[in-house]
Chain A
Amino acid sequence: MNRGFITSTAVIALLFSPISAFCESTEQLEERIEKLEKDLEKANKRSRKYYDRLNKKISNQGERVKLNAFASAGLAKSDSQYSTFNEIDETTINTQADSILGVQMSFQVNDKTELTTQFVSKGGQERHNTRTEWAYISYTPNKNVKIRAGRMRIPYYMLSESLEVGYSYNWVRPPAEVYNLTSNNGELFDVILSKSISSLNLNWQIFGGRLVESQRLTNQQEVRFEADDVLGTAVYGNVGDFSGRIGYVTFDFSSVNSSERVLELTALTESLGLGSIKLRETKTQYLNIGGKYDNGKTQIMGEFYTSDFEDTLLSITEGWYLTAGYRIGDWTPFVSFAKVRTTNDDDREDAINALLNIPGPVARSVIFADGVPPTLSGLPDSVINEQARSIFVNQVAQPTAITMRRIFNFRQQTTSLGVRWDIKPGLALKLQVDEISGFEDTRGQLNVGNDPSGLPAPLTDDSVIVNSLVIDAAF
């Protein structure tokens, strides 16, 4: 063999072997670098996690206190100078009826316990007296159970609890035909059980407690109700874009602080065995069913309620509404129709007839309870009885008939057209035109003054138009 050849081969081998060795180690190196990079990334992640956890601990301290608020400011005017709706009439632009401010604070005590208070200041009939609307403690033992106790709104109907948060719905104000209770609060407890069965998400709410309620009757009389045996339940849930709710509430009023007129009428109707126009110890029941469809563009919502008060001549009502809207970008035009009527007009009519056809001797015992006046003494009984009957009919039965027919009986319907403009998340402007009509010789839910004799005056409007504008915000 040629030495030179060997040398050159060796040199070539030497020259190439490190290269090939180097080639291999490049791949290995790349792998190693890759591995190191991954390790480094993991280490980075780990340290970031550590800092994240620290940060979370810090931010959780801040998140334990939550502050939220909602507000509405509105303008409204009607075309009636004879009647008012929610204090809205033709004379001035009402800036109070739809104005409201609510502030809510909640404090997370621990993972399962939270304290919440909400203060609400409302214009209109409440004159911005700040109320504690909610003040409760909630306890969530697990994902399917929530227990609350304290001052809460009574969940009569689908929107009863969120009635004041204008930003959460499309109307300027919810239909008065269904949402006609002016105060809805009680000292309550509730338990909400949640369960999902396939695509059906169900919630069962059970509640009880006591209520102290101030209600303004359509004739502006303020009546104070108390009941300490409130009991109710609601089942609500959704399947996809469909949601629904059914609710029931019952209680006996333990104390009712009525106006003088109501007390007089109560004494009279009771003494004549005509049924009572007081609510004391009256079993009261509300039943409600509602549904909603919302696919993000089309929104349809409807609700029906019926109420029942046992053995009373006061108004028992039922009402419903149906509303539909269609969102086009930031604009949601909507229509709405609502109707309410009293369901016990016949009972009152019976009582009125009994009063108008009162037997002479009974009228005499009421009118001349303190004895027959000297001008009539010595006259035959039939004449005295007839005299008493005539006085009774003119001074008691007729005014009672007018009061019952005009105030306790009512019918009303409202057709609304409106649009909601979502200016930006958390801020919306709404315009709405309502036509209130269908009174059928009653005063509906409108307020009309008294006639010169002090009795409720009739409503002279066939229909009333209310124009409203409101800005709603939620933070």
Chain B
Amino acid sequence: MKNLYLSLVAYISLSLLSINVSADVVIIVNPDSSVESLTKQQITDIFLSKAKSFPDGSLAVPVDLSEDNEAREIFIKSVLNRRQSQIRAYWSDLIFTGKGSPPKKVDFPEDVLDLVANNPNIVGYLDEDEIDDSVKVVYRVNQ
């Protein structure tokens, strides 16, 4: 019984630890953007190309990370509420009917940071550890 209790404590503290270890994923825009915060739905609409602009009406251009990126998995799961295969199915519909194309993908987090820091229309997502004050956080994924 004591062993069970101990292992339970160990498990809980370990799981708490793992939350601390993996940083949050944040949605970022350019500091010059008038956008201060976005809702999950607004982010979803922009990243699925359903909305072409930010709530203030300015052009919104999402930028995606390549598929092997951990932040992408978290973003798709926690913000878009989908799985990678569902996202693929969604885009296959739009690609083959000419109604839309998925956001441009970049390979490295620094590229996202760089693009967002230099263009007020771009919105991206990154692991919190990857960002600096050259960008503005408008949504934080609570894991």
Contact = CB atoms under 8 A, between A and B. Distances in A.
Decide if A and B are genuine partners.
yes
Interface in A102-159: 102, 104, 116, 118, 134, 136, 138, 143-144, 148, 152-153
A104 B52 contact: no
A48 B118 CA distance: 13
A419 to B, nearest CB: 14
Nearest to B115: A52
A99 B88 CA distance: 20
Contacts of A426: 85, 88
Interface string A237-251: 110100000000000
A425 B92 contact: no
Interface stretch (B10-18, B23-31, B96-104, B135-143): B96-104
A113 B95 CA distance: 16
Interface string B87-128: 111101101111101001000001100100010000000000
Interface in B66-80: 67, 80
Contacts of A169: 89
A196 B101 CA distance: 18
A52 B111 contact: yes
B50 A238 contact: yes
Given A52-B111, A138-B98, A153-B97, A201 B92 contact: no
A305 interface: no
Given A161-B99, A196-B53, A425-B85, 16 more contacts: A48-B110, A52-B111, A68-B96, A143-B52, A162-B93, A165-B93, A168-B92, A168-B93, A168-B96, A169-B89, A201-B45, A425-B87, A426-B88, A428-B89, A474-B88, A474-B89
Nearest to B50: A201
A352 to B, nearest CB: 42
Given A68-B95, A102-B96, A116-B98, A168 B89 contact: yes
Interface in A192-248: 192, 194, 196, 199, 201, 237-238, 240
27 contacts: A52-B111, A52-B114, A66-B101, A70-B96, A102-B96, A136-B98, A138-B98, A143-B53, A152-B98, A161-B97, A162-B97, A167-B88, A168-B93, A169-B89, A196-B45, A199-B45, A237-B50, A240-B41, A296-B86, A422-B83, A422-B85, A422-B86, A425-B87, A428-B89, A474-B88, A474-B89, A474-B96
B88 A196 contact: no
Interface residues of B, number: 33
B85 to A, nearest CB: 4
Given A52-B114, A144-B52, A196-B52, A296 B96 contact: no
A152 B104 CA distance: 25
A192 B99 contact: yes
Q: Shortest 10 CB-CB distances between A and B: which pairs?
A: A422-B85, A474-B92, A296-B81, A168-B93, A161-B97, A143-B52, A425-B84, A425-B88, A201-B50, A425-B85
Interface of A: 45, 48-49, 52, 63, 66, 68, 70, 102, 104, 116, 118, 134, 136, 138, 143-144, 148, 152-153, 161-162, 164-165, 167-169, 192, 194, 196, 199, 201, 237-238, 240, 295-296, 327, 330, 422, 424-426, 428, 474
Contacts of B84: 425
A422 B111 CA distance: 31
A295 B81 CA distance: 7
Contacts of A428: 85, 89
A116 B85 CA distance: 25
Best-buried of B45, B89, B99, B110 by chain A (most CB within 10 Å)? B89
Given A52-B114, A168-B93, A134 B52 contact: no
Contacts, number: 91
Contacts of A136: 98
Best-buried of A45, A63, A104 by chain B (most CB within 10 Å)? A45
Contacts of B104: 63
Nearest to A240: B41
Interface of B: 41-42, 45, 50-53, 59, 67, 80-90, 92-93, 95-99, 101, 104, 110-111, 114, 118
B114 A167 contact: no
A64 to B, nearest CB: 13
Nearest to B101: A66
Contacts of B99: 161, 192
Contacts of B50: 201, 237-238
Nearest to B44: A240
Contacts of B53: 143, 196
Contacts of A102: 96
Contacts of A104: 95-96
Nearest to A170: B89
Contacts of B67: 425
B86 A165 contact: no
B108 to A, nearest CB: 10
Contacts of A63: 104
Contacts of B88: 167, 425-426, 474
Best-buried of B87, B93, B95, B98 by chain A (most CB within 10 Å)? B98
A196 B81 contact: no
